[in-house]
Structure 1
Amino acid sequence: MKPARIFDRDREWEGLVSFATAPDPGALLGVVSGRRRQGKSFLLQAMTEAVGGLYFAATEATEAESLRLFADALLRHTREPVDAPFRDWNDAIACLSGQLGKAPVPVVLDEFPFLSKASPALPSIIQRELGPGGSAQGSRARLLLCGSAMSVMGGLLAGRAPLRGRAGLELVIRPFGYRDAARFWDITDPSLAILVHAVVGGTPAYRREFIRGDVPAGSGDFDAWVARTVLNPQMPLFREARYLLAEEPDIRGPAIYHSVLAAIASGNRTNGGIAGYTGRRSDELSHPLNVLEDSGLIVREPDLIRRGRASYRITEPLIGFYEAIMRPRWPELELGRAEAAWQASRPAFLSRVVGPHFEALCRQFAIGTDIFGELPAEVGAGVVNDPGNRDQIEVDVIVLAAPEPGQPRRVLSLGEAKWGTVLGPRHLGRLARARDLLAVRGFDTRHTALAAYSAAGFANDVRQATREHILLITPQQMYEQG
């Protein structure tokens, strides 16, 4: 049973326990990854305690020291001393396999990137020892490699990596979804939950370890909460966004990476927009964009209408908040002038942070709901060209059905998402125009619902509309339906 101290993570727990106790003969390999502060180590420690496994947390150390520490951990687990000090990881893996017995036993190597950095041959050694004729095949070890450096962990099973095709479990521990995050923070007001999520996202460590459980008492306390937590130099959360970037091993010379993130946070989300903001050519941005994407700090989102075009979005809200709000006023914030800096930055927060974040949450809501008549196959944003009006219509939430061979792609819904704007007939009119233009382009829009997502409400004539295929969606509905 999952310990009561672990909030949510039911599916992750079930996957870990199922892997750790699998009756398969021979050794098995699993990979657990996820950005820092998501509770990976907390979860793995609890799992090894529950099923009697070995948990080893690596540190930044030389190979010799890591081997000594691993030998100590193995001794504590098996209570059998090793015959001789490990010369290398060949000895360590062989000894591990010989001492575990015949029952399935999980063995967690946490912070694996530290080990592989000091011992680059370690993945190859594991591959050999888990393969036919390897020492690990004589045991039933369930070896779990865990780490937070996403570029390193992602590369373990990619391309021609030694461990490709060897893993029986590939688990990514992600931040809590917006509904689970609200429950974790004990916030029942949907609008307040969105504001808090736009700052700290769904990272569990930020509530308990980083701000000592400080939760806004209500919507009227939000401004004061921001000033006393994330903008407070005495709180660990104050510098966390900087550390998240610095901890990625592939990020060297952080200036260009901060500039790229600042461009995205400022609304310059296309390759050309980022190039214009940073003063670099588009081809010069390929490497930093790829590194940020491999690190899980940004995501490339395709335009669902104009195929081949895409935009970028920051996946960690705290980094977006830092780049848009904190970084421009860093000297002022370091001097402890949080309240003044926040009051000056609040309009930018609502437009550059909350607005785009609300749009992203609306898309998350759409992908998991059946209010469009069926579960969507694809949800995103896109731009519809309007040649007649020499205009482009940006659609915030596009919901597509699963493609059917030989049939036009069905559009389940087109949506406008606005945090602080009362949506009215003009907004629905633009969506209706986009629907008609898509029909001309060959999409099936016969049953397309027009959806208005707003935290500020809807005009009376829209509320009273009884026409079919019009949906009015509030934050309350987004948190209730799932």
Structure 2
Amino acid sequence: MALPVKPTEIFDRDVEWGELARFVADERPGATLGVVSGRWRQGKTLLLYELARVSGGFYFGATEATETESLRRLGGALGAHTGAPGPVHLADWGAAIDALLALGRDRPVTVVLDEFPYLVRAARDLPSIIQHALTPGRPERTESRTRLLLCGSALSFMGGLLAGSAPLRGRAGLELPVQPLDYRAAAAFWQIEDPRLAVRVFAIVGGTPAYRREYVQDDAPAGPDDFDDWVVRAVLNPARPLFREARYLLAEDPDLRDTALYHSVLAAVAEGNASRGGIAGYIGRKANDLQHPLTVLEDAGLLLREPDPLRSGRSSYRITEPLITFYQAIMRPAWTALEQRRGADVWRRSQRRYASAVLGPRFEEIVRQWAVRFADPDTLSGLVAEASAATLTDPASRTSHELDLVALGEPPLGDGPRPLLAIGEVKWGRQLGRADLERLERIRELLVRRPGFDTTDTRLLLASGQGFTEGLGETASARADVVLLDPSRLYGD
């Protein structure tokens, strides 16, 4: 079977399409299972619907319904797909899964059950039923070449579908996460050519494709001078779906029951409280009481816990979805005024807060993303395996040094120090100069004496949205260990 060709209306997603195409085109006998997950609005439904369409397969989008209604809807869809004179009667989910496996008796057939968590909510034993249907040696499986894809947006549920002792553990031949677009792909998707404008837009809407299409009706800033007006008319406008989206992201996940608590936790992180203790202090709870809400927000894909590579046992939290950061920092404190359509006034008063709480932290994340995904190995003396913020403690002077970037290479195969490829200072709102480079040089000297890291080729990286002093530029051009990043270079110019 030839690999299905990706339709032109699907932007990017070449890697995801390639994995799915190879999975559904597999000619080997025996039904197989794949699991596709990703946060809401990432284009999973379009991806899977088009995959089923171009490969002549079957797509079923579940809704919130009782078990009986879902089976009735599935039977109707199966009847229409197979050309039966009427709906296919499905007595229970065991019969339904066997009917789906029967679609692949003669050839590999794509079968998609989208929004799978809705089905399980009404039929808790459905994963076990699928496990039984895919039992090795069972004729319904061995005589079928159905390529069954289960898809869902509830990340906490989908993450547990194949974990630990879950019924489907070991049954899936594909486990595919659909991530938001990276910052470069997002700029291309929004058709923004100005790098500084691209950063400012990405800091609000991130790489979620639906926010360009359905949520602002293809309204993108016409240029840098249109950015402020665009924020008011597209983001802070109560008539646009994007206005309430951040609230809905929490309401849609069934595991996020205490939404007031979760909003407070996210507000704390948006305010710059990255540690568990800082979050606890902000919301008035004990640090030990936050284990559950932090874990739930992590499982839901809204928070990310990043270990500090320079302080064992320490970690920091950051919000993964830019729109939530923007909502917590800018919109939530002024919600009443925004509902009264005073968006222009709110935005005018929020410029400094947007720069410090939204734009600055997201620019740091863009630089870390660049280090991992786009940096030439020669630029940073090797391939970056991970990049994060870190804090270096100097016991001798009893001082701490904040680093916006610590880029590490792959751990060595045997014993030995791990390559420390770069340390960096990242600032959106000010020009960087010689003093900033000298600070990094002092920190590198401290790290040279620190065991566990190979600092032989550690680069000193400075990234700024406002550029660099002439003296720093001259120094960087003469030294291979100094790397300067501005928005143009981040976006590949």
What TM bracket, shorter-length normalisation? Answer: over 0.9
Cα distance in 1 for residues equivalent to 2:411 and 2:137: 46
**Contact 2:78–2:87, Cα closer than 8 Å, also in 1:** no
Query: What does 1:64-79 align with in structure 2 at a 5 Å threshold?
Result: 64-79=68-83
2:280 to 271, 275, 279: 275
Task: Report how far residue 86 of structure 1 moved.
Answer: 1.8
The aligned residue for residue 126 of structure 2 is 122
Residue 429 of structure 2 aligns with which residue? 420
Matching residue of 1:400: 408
Distance in 2 between residues matched to 1:105 and 1:82, nearest whole Å: 21
Aligned to 1:448: 458
Q: Provide the rounded CA distance (Å) in 1 between the counterparts of 2:466 and 2:35.
A: 44
How has the CA–CA distance of structure 1 residues 468 and 105 changed in structure 2, closer, same or farther, with 3 Å as cutoff?
closer
**Partners of 2:103 and 2:109 within 8 A in 1:** no
How far apart are the structure 2 equivalents of 1:177 and 1:40?
16
> How big is each residue's C-alpha offset from its partner over 1:413-461, in whole Å with a ceiling of 9 and x where there is no partner?
1110000111112211221111111111123222211110011111221
Work out the CA distance in 2 between the residues paired with 1:457 and 1:254: 41
**Unaligned ranges ≥5, structure 2:** none
- Match of 2:426, as an amino acid? A
| Cα shift at 1:84 | 6.9
Say how many residue pairs are matched: 481
C-alpha change, 1:187 and 1:99, in structure 2 (3 Å) is closer
- 1:451/1:84 Cα in 2 relative to 1: closer, same or farther (>3 Å)? closer
Give the TM-score normalised by the residue count of structure 1: 0.97
Task: Please tell me whether the aligned partners of residues 454 and 474 of structure 1 are also in contact (alpha carbons under 8 angstroms).
Answer: yes
Q: Return the alpha-carbon distance in structure 2 between the equivalents of residues 103 and 380 of structure 1.
A: 47
**1:52 aligned partner:** 56
Contact 1:33 1:171 in 2 (8 A): yes
Assess if the C-alpha contact under 8 Å between 2:441 and 2:460 holds in 1: yes
Contact 1:303–1:383 at 8 Å: present in 2 too? Answer: yes
The percent of aligned pairs where both chains have the same amino acid is: 54
CA shift, 1:37, in A, is: 0.7
- Aligned residue number for residue 352 of structure 2: 347
CA positional deviation for 1:464: 1.3
Match of 1:411 in 2: 420
Q: Check whether the contact 1:78–1:100 (CA below 8 A) recurs between aligned residues.
A: no
Counterpart of 2:397 (choices 361, 370, 389) is: 389
- In structure 2, what is the equivalent of residue 479 of structure 1? 491
Please give the alpha-carbon distance, in whole angstroms, between the structure 1 residues aligned to 2:247 and 2:237.
15
Which one of 377, 384, 388 corresponds to residue 385 of structure 2? 377
For 2:391, the aligned partner's letter is V
Counterpart Cα distance in 1 of 2:25 and 2:474: 57
Q: Give the secondary-structure state (helix, strand or coil) at the position aligned to 1:80.
A: coil
Distance 2:150 2:71 in 1: 16
| Separation of aligned partners in 1, 2:358 and 2:339 | 21
Distance 2:345 2:336 in 1: 13
Change over 3 Å in CA distance of 1:330–1:23 after alignment to 2: same
CA distance, structure 1, for counterparts of residue 450 and residue 99 of structure 2: 65
What's 1:337 paired with?
Answer: 342
Q: Which whole-Å CA distance do the structure 2 matches of 1:133 and 1:402 have between them?
A: 42
Matched residue, 1:96: 100
1:104 alignment partner AA: P
SS at match of 1:123: helix
**Residue type of the alignment partner of 2:372:** I
Contact 1:393 1:430 in 2 (8 A): no
| 2:23 alignment counterpart | 19
Report the more deviating stretch, 4-13 or 73-82.
Answer: 73-82
Structure 1 residue 366 displacement after superposition: 0.6
Distance in 2 of aligned mates of 1:415 and 1:461:
18
1:301 aligns to what SS in structure 2? strand
Q: What amino acid maps onto 2:427 in structure 1?
A: K
Match of 1:291 in 2: 296
CA distance in structure 1 between the aligned counterparts of 2:381 and 2:398, rounded to whole angstroms: 33
Corresponding residue for residue 30 of structure 1: 34
| Per-residue deviation, 1:376 | 1.4
Q: Does 1:459 align with 2:463?
A: no
SS in 2 for 1:210: coil
Aligned amino acid, residue 487 of structure 2: P
State whether residues 16 and 178 of structure 2, in contact with CA within 8 Å, keep that contact through their aligned partners in structure 1.
yes
Q: Which amino acid aligns with 1:241?
A: A
Q: Indicate whether 1:185 and 2:194 are aligned.
A: no
C-alpha distance in 2 between matches for 1:4 and 1:96:
29
Per-residue deviation, residues 166-202 of structure 1 (Å, max 9, x unmatched): 1111111111100000000000111100100000001
Which letter maps to 1:395? L
Encode CA deviations 1:40-59: one digit per residue, 9 max, x unaligned. Answer: 11111111111100000011
| Structure 1 counterpart SS, 2:107 | coil
Tell me whether 439-448 or 419-428 shows the greater mean CA deviation: 439-448
**What is the alpha-carbon distance in structure 2 between the residues aligned to residue 356 and residue 279 of structure 1?**
24
5+ residue gaps in structure 1?
none
Residue 144 of structure 1, aligned match among 125, 137, 149: 149
Letter in 2 for 1:211: V
2:91 is aligned with 1:107 = no
Report if the CA contact (8 A) 1:82-1:95 is conserved.
Answer: no
Deviations 1:362-398 (A, max 9, x none): 0000112121122112221211112343321111111
Residues 242-253 of structure 1 aligned to structure 2 (within 5 Å) = 242-253=247-258
